[in-house]
Structure 1
Amino acid sequence: MSDEEEFGIGVGGPMVVEVKGRSRTPGSSRSPRRHHNDSDEYSEDDGWSASEDNESDDDSVVPTHRSQRMSQRSPRKNGRSKIDMTPPDKKLKVAEKKVVRFTENGKVDKVITELTKCLALNRILHGAGHWKLARCHANLAEAYLDLKSYAVQAEYHTENAKSIMLNSVTSYTTDQEKADIYDVLFKIYYIQGRALAALKKYNEADQMLAKTEKVIGELNKLSCVDDNQLDDYEIKLTQATARLQWKQKKFALASSQYDKLLKLMEDRYGDDSILLIPVYQECGKISFDL
């Protein structure tokens, strides 16, 4: 099929367009002036443009068959397909910014898509055995668990992350980089423990959360990790432990963990923080089981 047939243009003679009593051929029409669009969120310095992000934030717009076909065509210049020469490190920064933006806007599926891009780009940049690739697996696992409640996918990606960390030589040059590596280990064990608890693999979940506690102990030795960060780690672990013990019907132990959790959160956020509300609700539910 020729280009004319594909776009619905007749073949065999020049097309005549009637406009307000006048006729003209398409060749005589003027090209419309392009309007400058200042609404893009990221500048060209960030490597982002409106044409790069084919997925609009507005899910209400349903693309037609023709628009889908046109969007799949590579832009052409001088009769040749344009090749995207953006370096992968810049693409990674763009994807990371989109993760933040889509998370704030509640675009769950797009968050997963961009995190998957981050995973592929990190593999290109750092290789298959780098701790930053393990961090991407952990971030993707966290998104699956927290945003979509997909425990199986979360366990899968944390297992991949754990395999990378255990089977590769991880080196660091500063205390901050060491803290970043321990942060990845914390997230791996913490997310995997929660995922295993959701899958009712309680003994394995206990083991993962015990490893999480050991990682917090190592983070506590680093001067670059402040008290607020340590409190955040402790709050996450305590809440995960309390919920796990609740699922195991160890109600007395769970109640003790919830008391500890409330104390930690009050010290961290204040007595009147709205973050305490869901914890109080869980405490109320567990009180009926005691």
Structure 2
Amino acid sequence: MSGGKEEYEDDSFFSDESDDVAPIRVSPERSSLRASYTGPLSELKTIEENSECNTERTVESSRSSVQGGDKSTRGRELRSPEDLLPICKIKADNYSVDKKTDKAIKEFIKCVAYSRIVYGSENWNYGKAVCDLGVAYLELKNWPVQAHYHCNIAQNILKSDVQEQADRVADKRSQIPTVPEEEIDDWNIKIYTAVAKLAAKQKKHAKALTYFEKVLNIIEDTSGRESSELVGVYQYMGSIKLCNDSPTDIEKGIEYYHKAHSISMTIYKDGSLESADSARKLAAAYACLGTEDAEISSESYLNECLLTYQTNLGDIHEKTIQVQDDLVKLMLRTDRKEDALILLRKLIEPKCVVHGEFSEEVSESYKLIGSVLLSNGEDEKALKALNKCYTIQCFSHGENARRTKDTKKTIDMLISNPNLAAVHKKLSNNLQDRPNFNSVVCRSSRLGGFKTDATY
């Protein structure tokens, strides 16, 4: 040690001859922002090139020293990535503390490369190294774009590592002789379901379906082929298939929803809310297919669902209203605009009761009515409906909201017609002529027969 600094035996690998050697000391804890990130990166090629050049330089230096008789360098060996990784971490932290930004970034990049070599490209340690690099870009360089990019990669690596760890946990648990079979099956269902949902969110549909198949097999073996647990699994598998646009996948998704509905009908019987819920999801699956026969099937299941909701919940209920909204969309898809208008107008009052007169649901109904009337060429009626929509949107979202501005643009386009401008002016005057709201109710006399000169 000289000058208060420690020198690394293989320091030529980490920096050029002109670089200062960072002092070895215990670095402070990273900030809370850095600690919250985890993940990987693609600067490996650059690092490998730098490492190769430095390695060649070290080998040549060692050879020349041995040939020259320098006993202090004889027997020196190149260090493995396992040994170099912790040294790079220390140097990166120390350079960060000393505000030597470029040198710190260089060491963080080396940590990414070494972590990938040591742990592999799907290990959480590699993900953490990439995340640390992203945080360094943000804290030292103030480069948020690079930081966001690296942290996204780190997040994906951690998700993959979670899936692998879940598989290992499931396998190890099944090998423990003292754990009951029922508990093993229960935990396997939870683990495989979690991994399947995670894979589905990552759009790894084939992997998600594979794990859901494992869940199905366990449930069928333990609870039978008509277990209520199968309903949700089949519906989730159906939703994964519907994410694809091919008719084959959509038909397979409908098949999964059919299985869920048949099990629901067997368990809960016809006319139950559970069977109505599964019927509505099956109707939505048929709607994705887009054929005439599929629309007929979809309408049949929606009507079945609506009847059950009306019987059990009544007309003034959110689920009953939602099914009728689905029927409106179906009618518009099948070019039955008059039927759709009748149902839309019928739904205004229940929506006012359930959601409130100035709710988004009511404003959307008026907007849809206006759009249908516009397509029919009934501009004056459309203007009245859109005016009601605009009034509600101004109250609930404000005049500067995007949806409010879009409605205002449509109204402005309509009132460019002089005839419609007169109608719009009349509607505006009717609103202005209304008396101001007053919370005090005036009476000509007091209750109880006592008279006074004061009026209220």
TM class, shorter-length: 0.5 to 0.7
8 Å CA contact 2:276, 2:304 repeated in 1: no
Q: Provide the C-alpha distance between the structure 1 equivalents of 2:350 and 2:322, rounded to a whole number of angstroms.
A: 10
8 Å CA contact 1:246, 1:254 repeated in 2: yes
Deviation of 1:108 (Å): 7.5
Q: Provide the C-alpha distance between the structure 1 equivalents of 2:261 and 2:286, rounded to a whole number of angstroms.
A: 17
Deviation of 1:186 (Å): 3.2
Q: Deviations over 1:207-247 (max 9, x none)?
A: 3322332234345555xxx559x833322322222122212
Q: Deviations over 1:36-77 (max 9, x none)?
A: xxxxxxxxxxxxxxx8xx9xxx9843259x9999889779x9
Give the structure 1 partner of residue 438 of structure 2. Answer: none
Deviation of 1:121 (Å): 1.7
Q: Provide the C-alpha distance between the structure 2 equivalents of 1:216 and 1:263, rounded to a whole number of angstroms.
A: 17
Q: Provide the C-alpha distance between the structure 2 equivalents of 1:238 and 1:134, rounded to a whole number of angstroms.
A: 24
Aligned residues between the structures? 224
2:288 pairs, out of 172, 187, 195, with 195
2:296 pairs, out of 195, 198, 206, with 206
Change (3 A) 1:130 1:109: same
Q: Provide the C-alpha distance between the structure 2 equivalents of 1:277 and 1:143, rounded to a whole number of angstroms.
A: 32
Q: Provide the C-alpha distance between the structure 1 equivalents of 2:193 and 2:164, rounded to a whole number of angstroms.
A: 26
Give the structure 2 partner of residue 44 of structure 1. Answer: none
Q: Provide the C-alpha distance between the structure 1 equivalents of 2:300 and 2:350, rounded to a whole number of angstroms.
A: 19
Change (3 A) 1:267 1:260: same
**TM-score, structure 2 length as denominator?**
0.37
Q: Which amino acid aligns with 1:274?
A: E
Query: Is 1:133 matched up with 2:243?
Result: no
Deviation of 1:150 (Å): 4.6
Give the structure 2 partner of residue 247 of structure 1. Answer: 333
Query: Is 1:160 matched up with 2:251?
Result: no
8 Å CA contact 2:189, 2:218 repeated in 1: no
Q: Provide the C-alpha distance between the structure 2 equivalents of 1:99 and 1:280, rounded to a whole number of angstroms.
A: 41
SS at match of 1:62: helix
Change (3 A) 1:213 1:90: farther
Q: Deviations over 1:100-126 (max 9, x none)?
A: 9x8xxxx97348869744564244214
Change (3 A) 1:210 1:72: closer
User: Greater relative contact order (Cα 8 A, min sep 6): structure 1 or 2?
Assistant: 1
8 Å CA contact 1:182, 1:215 repeated in 2: yes
Give the structure 1 partner of residue 274 of structure 2. Answer: 180
Q: Provide the C-alpha distance between the structure 2 equivalents of 1:169 and 1:275, rounded to a whole number of angstroms.
A: 31
8 Å CA contact 1:231, 1:268 repeated in 2: yes
1:61 pairs, out of 152, 161, 173, with 152
Alignment of 1:195-274 (within 5 A): 195-196=288-289, 199=290, 201-218=291-308, 220-221=310-311, 226-227=313-314, 231-274=317-360
Among all aligned residue pairs of Structure 1 and Structure 2, give the percentage whose two residues are the same amino acid.
Answer: 11
Change (3 A) 1:134 1:249: same
8 Å CA contact 1:265, 1:276 repeated in 2: yes
Q: Which amino acid aligns with 1:240?
A: D
8 Å CA contact 2:234, 2:257 repeated in 1: yes
Q: Provide the C-alpha distance between the structure 2 equivalents of 1:122 and 1:257, rounded to a whole number of angstroms.
A: 41
Q: Which amino acid aligns with 2:292?
A: Y
Give the structure 2 partner of residue 286 of structure 1. Answer: 372
SS at match of 1:249: coil
Q: Provide the C-alpha distance between the structure 2 equivalents of 1:192 and 1:68, rounded to a whole number of angstroms.
A: 29
Deviation of 1:130 (Å): 4.1
Q: Which amino acid aligns with 1:283?
A: I
Q: Deviations over 1:161-185 (max 9, x none)?
A: 3146448982359x99x54344223
Structure 1 residues without counterparts, runs of 5 or longer:
1-7, 21-50
Q: Which amino acid aligns with 2:233?
A: C
Query: Is 1:171 matched up with 2:249?
Result: no
8 Å CA contact 1:142, 1:191 repeated in 2: no
Q: Which amino acid aligns with 2:305?
A: V
Change (3 A) 1:84 1:213: same
Structure 2 residues without counterparts, runs of 5 or longer:
1-50, 52-75, 88-123, 128-147, 175-182, 377-456
Deviation of 1:272 (Å): 1.6
Q: Provide the C-alpha distance between the structure 2 equivalents of 1:205 and 1:131, rounded to a whole number of angstroms.
A: 28
Q: Provide the C-alpha distance between the structure 2 equivalents of 1:166 and 1:99, rounded to a whole number of angstroms.
A: 23
**TM-score, structure 1 length as denominator?**
0.53
Q: Provide the C-alpha distance between the structure 1 equivalents of 2:301 and 2:238, rounded to a whole number of angstroms.
A: 18
Q: Provide the C-alpha distance between the structure 1 equivalents of 2:370 and 2:295, rounded to a whole number of angstroms.
A: 24
Change (3 A) 1:130 1:284: same
Give the structure 2 partner of residue 83 of structure 1. Answer: 172
Bigger fraction of residues in helix: 2
Q: Provide the C-alpha distance between the structure 2 equivalents of 1:115 and 1:68, rounded to a whole number of angstroms.
A: 13
Change (3 A) 1:209 1:221: same
8 Å CA contact 1:92, 1:118 repeated in 2: no
